């Protein structure tokens, strides 16, 4: 029988939750790296037992951990992230220029085909690549050449938080940066261009439709339709049907179109999920009701999913990397909250149950479906 492994990064360590395909009973392993912030923990699609974790604290900086046995044992690998050339500067909160400084790794995205190749999205925003299993890292500096001097930090810092690799074209991938926007490369990461046409950031930017500077919170793509992208922006849920060339808003009837994560159903490319948050000033669900919203039409028409989720007095947040799906049938959907709950739905979001209720604040959730 298939298994599911849920990789959870929290403010105080990593946890690994495993279940069989019924997704009813769960074993919990952890905390791994107790006391450290785990911004992301993610497995290789090519070898699911190869897992990478980003471990950091303000005191001791960045550590990258690697496992070759599905998270049972770990070894620290390379943590030297050095920007190529003169790092230069970017916009600061007050509109002045500020030097580029490495702070932490937000996202680890292993190659779709090679477990030793892994991409790292970092703060201050840049993309790094390792081809030796994380021992050494090299920046892909062409990304920062895409008007990096106009990028600026959001409240969480200036972070590259989303990396999407196109399964149909190994030369094409997408990244998203807060607050710079979405970017695409068609030559394996050498050159990049902003893909933000159609975004409207009326309350965040002096030029609401600027080429860069948008606070994109998350991107999602279904592997069978790599030209279709979905975006949760600071405000607005968006989609693009042409690989990011043009975006259109699909917020529709959402109670709020502010939020952080977005995900696509593993078998239905037009079924997408978001978790509306009241506003950028109040990072909790509208009306104290924790609701995942699902659209089966690729946006615009949304339905609240509430069964098993708290529908009163709930004031947690769901961060940008904390929503994920498995590839079982029916599709499982998972998310973690800043209140330390991890919820799972084994039926595409119709019914929810908490796997755990009292973890540290959840920073990221990834899911591996194992044979």
Partner 1 sequence: MIRVVLPYHLRTLAQVGNEVELEIGGLKTLGSVLDALEARYPMLRGTIRDHVTRERRAFIRFFACGQDLSLEALDAPLPDLVASGAEHLMIVGAIAGG
Under rule CB under 8 A, residue 136 binds partner 1: no
Under rule CB under 8 A, residue 72 binds partner 1: no
Given candidates 73, 82, 136, 169, which one binds partner 1 under the rule CB under 8 A?
A: 82
Under rule CB under 8 A, residue 203 binds partner 1: no
Closest approach of partner 1 to the CB of residue 317, in Å? 21
Phi and psi at 293, nearest 5°, equal -105, 135
Given candidates 72, 80, 307, 357, which one binds partner 1 under the rule CB under 8 A?
A: 80
> Which range in 54-62, 181-189, 197-205, 334-342 contacts partner 1 by CB under 8 A?
54-62
How far apart, in whole angstroms, are the C-alpha atoms of residue 97 and residue 93?
9
CB-CB contact of 91 with 150 (8 Å): yes
With respect to partner 1, which residue has the nearer C-beta, 34 or 208? Answer: 34
Q: Draw the binding track, 259-288, toward partner 1 (x: CB under 8 A; -: no contact).
A: ------------------------------
Place of tokens 């709020």: 256
Under rule CB under 8 A, residue 57 binds partner 1: yes
Under rule CB under 8 A, residue 61 binds partner 1: yes
Whether residue 62 has a cis bond before it, omega within 30° of 0: no
How far apart, in whole angstroms, are the C-alpha atoms of residue 301 and residue 279?
20
Under rule CB under 8 A, residue 62 binds partner 1: yes
Given candidates 22, 60, 73, 297, which one binds partner 1 under the rule CB under 8 A?
A: 60
Given candidates 63, 129, 314, 361, which one binds partner 1 under the rule CB under 8 A?
A: 63
How far apart, in whole angstroms, are the C-alpha atoms of residue 160 and residue 158?
7
Under rule CB under 8 A, residue 371 binds partner 1: no
> Which range in 76-84, 182-190, 252-260, 328-336 contacts partner 1 by CB under 8 A?
76-84
Given candidates 25, 59, 94, 95, which one binds partner 1 under the rule CB under 8 A?
A: 59
Under rule CB under 8 A, residue 138 binds partner 1: no
Contacts 24+ apart (CB under 8 A), 239-246: 239/298, 239/299, 240/195, 240/198, 243/172, 243/184, 243/195, 244/174, 244/182, 244/184, 244/195, 245/195, 245/197, 246/197, 246/198
Under rule CB under 8 A, residue 99 binds partner 1: no
Whole-number Cα distances in Å, 82 to 78, 86, 98, 121: 11, 10, 17, 13
Closest approach of partner 1 to the CB of residue 99, in Å? 12
> Which range in 19-27, 38-46, 53-61, 193-201 contacts partner 1 by CB under 8 A?
53-61
How far apart, in whole angstroms, are the C-alpha atoms of residue 216 and residue 227?
18
CB-CB contact of 161 with 147 (8 Å): no
Under rule CB under 8 A, residue 76 binds partner 1: yes
Q: Residue 329: which residues within 8 A CB-CB, separation 6 or more?
A: 267
Closest approach of partner 1 to the CB of residue 321, in Å? 23
How far apart, in whole angstroms, are the C-alpha atoms of residue 342 and residue 17?
10
CB-CB contact of 340 with 360 (8 Å): yes
Binding site for partner 1 (CB under 8 A): 34-36, 57-63, 76, 79-80, 82
């Amino acid at each position: 029988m298939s298994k599911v492994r849920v990789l959870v990064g929290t403010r105080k360590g990593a946890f690994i939750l495993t279940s069989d395909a019924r997704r009813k009973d769960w074993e919990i392993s952890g905390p791994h790296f107790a006391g450290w912030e785990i911004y992301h923990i993610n497995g290789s699609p090519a070898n699911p037992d190869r897992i990478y974790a980003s471990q950091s604290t303000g005191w001791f900086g960045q550590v990258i951990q690697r496992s070759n046995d599905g998270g049972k044992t770990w070894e620290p690998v390379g943590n030297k992230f050095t920007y190529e050339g003169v790092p230069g500067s970017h916009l600061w909160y007050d509109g002045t220029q500020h030097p580029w400084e490495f702070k932490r790794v937000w996202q680890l995205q292993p190659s779709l085909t090679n477990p030793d190749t892994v991409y790292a999205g970092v703060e201050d925003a840049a993309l790094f690549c390792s081809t030796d299993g994380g021992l050494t890292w090299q920046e892909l500096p062409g990304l920062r050449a895409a008007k990096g001097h106009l990028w600026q930090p959001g409240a969480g810092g200036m972070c590259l938080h989303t990396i999407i690799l196109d399964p149909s074209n190994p030369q094409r991938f997408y990244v998203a940066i807060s607050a710079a926007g979405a970017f695409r490369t068609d030559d394996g990461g050498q050159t990049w261009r902003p893909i933000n046409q159609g975004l409207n950031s009326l309350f965040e930017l002096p030029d609401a439709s600027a080429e860069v500077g948008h606070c994109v919170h998350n991107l999602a793509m279904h592997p069978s339709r790599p030209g279709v992208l979905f975006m949760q922006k600071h405000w607005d849920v968006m989609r693009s049907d042409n690989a990011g060339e043009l975006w259109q808003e699909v917020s529709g009837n959402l109670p709020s179109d502010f939020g952080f994560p977005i995900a696509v159903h593993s078998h239905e490319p037009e079924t997408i999920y978001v978790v509306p948050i009241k506003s950028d000033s109040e990072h909790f669900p509208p009306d104290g009701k924790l609701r995942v919203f699902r659209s089966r039409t690729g946006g615009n028409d949304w339905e609240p999913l509430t069964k098993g989720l708290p529908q009163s007095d709930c004031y947690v947040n769901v961060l940008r990397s904390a929503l994920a799906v498995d590839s079982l049938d029916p599709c499982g959907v998972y998310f973690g909250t800043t209140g330390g709950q991890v919820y799972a739905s084994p039926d595409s979001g119709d019914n929810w149950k908490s796997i755990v209720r009292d973890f540290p604040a959840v920073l990221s959730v990834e899911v591996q479906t194992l044979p």
